[in-house]
Amino acid sequence: MKLNNLRPAPKSVKKRKRVGRGCGSGHGFTSCRGSNGQNSRSGGGVRPGFEGGQMPLYRRVPKRGFTNIFKKDYSIVNIGRLNIFKDGDVVTRKELIDKGIIKKV
């Protein structure tokens, strides 16, 4: 096999449909666009997502998620970091901040 012998697989390359080149071709005159309307005009067409004046799907569907105003933020403390306290000590949030285990939120 050489580079000058390479060919595409059979039926993998589709022939381009050539429209607007005479009525005998079957695709002349309107070039498969129909007679009237926005899509038949040169440069015509609608933008992606346009639904003919109906409220489009991307505006009908609610946006994703919301912000929970009652959310509680927790600080993660590994058990090994608590070994600096003596047995029986009461560990509060203020003491954890003073020792530098958690940051002040």
pLDDT at 105 over 90: no
Instruction: Give the residue extent of every domain in the chain.
Output: 16-62, 69-105
In terms of pTM, does the model score above 0.85? Answer: no
Q: Compute CA distances 51 → 54, 81, 93, whole Å.
A: 5, 59, 56
pLDDT digit string, tens, across residues 17-62: 999 999 999 999 999 999 999 999 999 999 999 999 999 999 999 8
In this structure, what DSSP letter does residue 11 have? T
Q: How confident is the model at residue 104 (pLDDT cuts 50, 70, 90)?
A: confident
Return d(Cα 75, Cα 62) in angstroms, integer: 32
Return d(Cα 50, Cα 57) in angstroms, integer: 9
